Amino acid sequence: MSADARKRLRAGRGRAGRTLVLAACGGVLATGCATMPDSGDVQDVRGANPGDSQVRVYAVAPRENADPDEIVDGFLEAMTSDDPGFATARKYLTRQAAEFWKPEQSITVLATAPDRKGADRNADPENQGRAYPISGRKIATLDARHAYQPNSPVEYTQAIHVVQETVAGGKDKEWRIDGLPPGLVLGEADFLRNYRSVNKYYFASGEDWLVADPVYIRQRQDPVTRMDTVTQTVKALLEGPTHWLRPAVDSPFPSGTELKAGVTTLTTDDQFTLKVPLNAKADRFGGEVCRRMAAQMLVTLGDLPSVRVDQVELQADGGGAVCRLGKGQAAEFRAVRDTGQDETPFFVDDDGRMTALAPGGKDGVPPAPVPGPLGKGAVPLGSVAVARGETRAAGVSRDGTAMYVSSITTEQEQLPPVFKSAAVGPAAARDGLSQPSWDGRRGDLWVADRAKGHQRLVIVPDGTGKWFEVRTPWLTEDTRVESLRVSADGVRIALLITRDGRTTLQVGRIERQDGADQQVVSVVDLQPAAPRMESVSSVSWAGPSRLVVVGREAGGVQQIRFLQTDGSTSASSVLPGLNGVSAVAAPYRETEPLLAASGNDGIVRLVPGANWQPVVKSGSVPVYPG
């Protein structure tokens, strides 16, 4: 039983003689189910689909002569159900409120189920109505574009107002809701039970690779559109990118492109081909444009574990095929192409040498310094970053003053630094250069210079060109960038920023414009990615739109957990505990082990499905390419 369900059961919502309906769904005991009334008509309840492991909640209509407490409680529970069209939830509303309520407009997510207080009988004495305050800790909202927007927990207070109204076929007036908050109001447990995160994909502006755009869609059939999960995902893709990502991406879908009217189900044939019927807009495109659209759709649907799609066929309004594309063809548009090789992990040993570990978590292969000057220790290193091809790396000197780039596959002489910090003297070790990061597709090298009075983000084109400063309107004198990590697609950047003594995780959008002499690059519109963490000490990209972070919640102990770039998370995202973690590194693919540096255990790894295992007794700054 979920925490929210237990809360409702303990509170009882003011009801007497209350019984929970529990349904076994695929071997899982359902929780948070609606109440079984002790009077009124018997209603059919459909069982879950065979093999459906998700908990299902079925709404119960208001009983005859229900008191206002029951009406409010019944409606709050009905909002958590899978009822088509929220038809049962609407039965708790007055005729006018039922007509104007738009549950698809937005979702307010609270830390727990909304807490209903007792009625304020003096709120509407003239109409003999009653107002019921509902409250909680608001942690996020979901907008009409399905974008999750987190916030630091804040007090949420609204009210549900009830009046008496004559209902259809009734002789007497019944209590019904005529005033309520907009959209849906759900506790986090109910939200995560009903919705799942999916990556839509759009092209980086002016480029030929795809960028992930996470949104939330309904786990099963959407109550409002009646669309299954696949169709919801395609619809969300056609609607375009979320507002935050839109300035940095392109989509070849012509404006107004939609699914053909009436389409609510999309299924593959026996060849795992998904045929997608579109409206008349599809008659206007073909060739490369259609191929790019099909690639977007294929890569997007690849995130759904419930369906296998090997190829997509986009169909015109009349039913004919406009184009067809297979998974192998779509793969060339991915930001990181699958080479079939495991990513190599690296770290810095106690002598300041860049050292390679065996890829794939293999045992029996001892770590070894890399070829070239970064592995020699002539300039002891404090941090390193590896280019995606694993042929070059960047190293920042231990004193924080200089950044070097060299081959890590062949021997060569030490080259001059590609960038020097404005920090000098003993303070440079702290106020000098951050750990660098490589842009996965463009091959540019990023670093933060933290010198007081000269704070800046810097790009070294291709790791060898003339460096230039990034525009950062948010980087003021009282702001310090502790570390940065650029996404593999080069469109987003994860930043650990200290301001007012607190270090938070922010995700910024990277925008590029052509300038007179060189490209102008800006990092703008920073969004909190871990607002419920009081402090964050390390971050690493762990795929197209996922981060692994080390941090603490208020009053809590250090945690290592996965987060989406939109700030969403779940209880299952917390990783096994590890003491004294100073840094964490994640591969791009989920099948390979995580790495961490622990003051107690040295360099350790976490193979999927196992616990942390020691790799090297001492060392620091573990990294994967990126």
464 and 492 housed in the same domain: yes
With respect to residue 310, please indicate whether it lies within any of the assigned structural domains: yes
Q: Which residues contact 258 (CB under 8 A, 6 or more apart)?
A: 235, 238, 278, 279, 281
DSSP conformation class of 566: T
Residue 388 in tokens:
């995606």
Residue % of the chain over a pLDDT of 70 = 89
Buried b (16+ CB within 10 A) or exposed e, 58-93: bbbbbbeebebbbbbbbbbbbbbbbbeebebbbbbb
Mean pLDDT across the stretch 542-562? 92
Which pLDDT tens digit goes with each residue over 454-487?
Answer: 999 999 999 998 999 999 999 999 999 999 999 9
Q: Is there a domain that residue 314 lies in? A: yes
Q: How many CB atoms lie under 10 A from the CB of residue 599? A: 11
Q: What band does 63 get if pLDDT is binned at 50, 70 and 90?
A: very high
- For the residues of 405-465, what is the DSSP string, one character each? EEESSS--PPPPPSEE-S--GGGHHHHSB---EE-TTT--EEEEE--TT--EEEEEGGGTS
Mean pLDDT over residues 6-20, rounded? Answer: 36
pLDDT at 428: 79
Percent of the chain at pLDDT above 90? 68
Burial class (CB in 10 A: 0-12, 13-18, 19+), 625: buried
3-state secondary structure of 108: strand
Within-domain flag for 189: yes
Instruction: Please indicate, yes or no, if residue 338 is contained in any of the structural domains.
Output: no
Collapsed DSSP state (helix, strand, coil) of residue 199: strand
Q: Do the beta carbons of residue 191 and residue 164 sit within 8 Å? A: no
Residues 139 and 216 in one domain: no
- Do 352 and 327 lie in one domain? The reply is no
Segments in 167-286 forming alpha helices (H): 188-194, 229-238
- Strands, DSSP E only, in 95-236? 107-110, 115-116, 120-124, 129-142, 148-166, 173-179, 184-187, 195-204, 210-218
Q: What pLDDT is recorded for position 361?
A: 64
Answer whether residue 340 is part of any domain: no
Are 43 and 175 in the same domain? yes
pLDDT (0 to 100) of residue 54: 55
Would you state the structure tokens that stand for residue 501, as one six-digit string? 């003594």
Q: 593 pLDDT exceeds 80?
A: yes
Are 181 and 83 part of one and the same domain? yes
Quick one: 217 and 89 in the same domain?
no
Print the domain residue range for 305.
195-333
Domain boundary among 312, 333, 354: 333
Residue 78 lies in a domain: yes
Predicted local confidence at residue 249, as pLDDT:
96
pLDDT, mean of residues 94-116: 94
From 30-44, 192-206, 325-339, the region with the lowest mean pLDDT: 30-44
Asked whether the predicted pLDDT for residue 155 surpasses 90, the reply is: yes
**pLDDT bracket for residue 137 (50, 70, 90):** very high
* End-to-end CA gap in the chain: 41
Tell me the pairing of strands 492-499 and 479-486: antiparallel
341 assigned to some structural domain: no
- pLDDT interval class at 46 (50, 70, 90): very low
Q: Which of 194, 213, 230 is the last residue of a domain?
A: 194
The answer to whether the beta carbons of residues 432 and 391 sit under 8 Å apart is: no
Q: What is the mean pLDDT of residues 298-308?
A: 90
| Cα torsion through 175, 181, 182, 184, rounded to 10 | -80
On whether residue 453 sits in a domain, the answer given is: yes
Dist. CA 77–CA 61, nearest whole Å: 11
- The answer to whether residues 63 and 158 belong to one domain is yes
Report the pLDDT averaged over residues 253-282. 91
Confidence of residue 254 (pLDDT cuts 50, 70, 90): confident
Last residue of a domain, one of 333, 364, 386: 333
Say whether pLDDT at 613 is over 50: yes
Asked if residue 174 and residue 231 are part of one domain, the reply reads no
Which residues are CB-neighbours of 611 under 8 A, at least 6 positions away? 576
Report the pLDDT value the prediction gives residue 220, as an integer from 0 to 100. Answer: 87
Q: At 521, which CATH number?
A: 2.120.10.30
Judge if 173 and 238 occupy the same domain.
Answer: no
Q: How confident is the model at residue 363 (pLDDT cuts 50, 70, 90)?
A: confident
Cα 568 from chain centre = 5
Query: Do 392 and 287 lie in a common domain?
Result: no
- Based on the fold, state whether residues 316 and 402 are members of the same structural domain: no
Q: Which CATH number fits the domain that encloses residue 158?
A: 3.10.450
Q: Is 163 found in the same domain as 227? A: no
- Asked if residue 263 lies in contact with residue 275, where contact means CB atoms within 8 angstroms, the answer is no
| Structural domain count, the chain | 3
Q: What is the mean pLDDT of residues 253-264?
A: 91
Q: Which two structure tokens, joined as six digits, stand for 51?
A: 């093999």
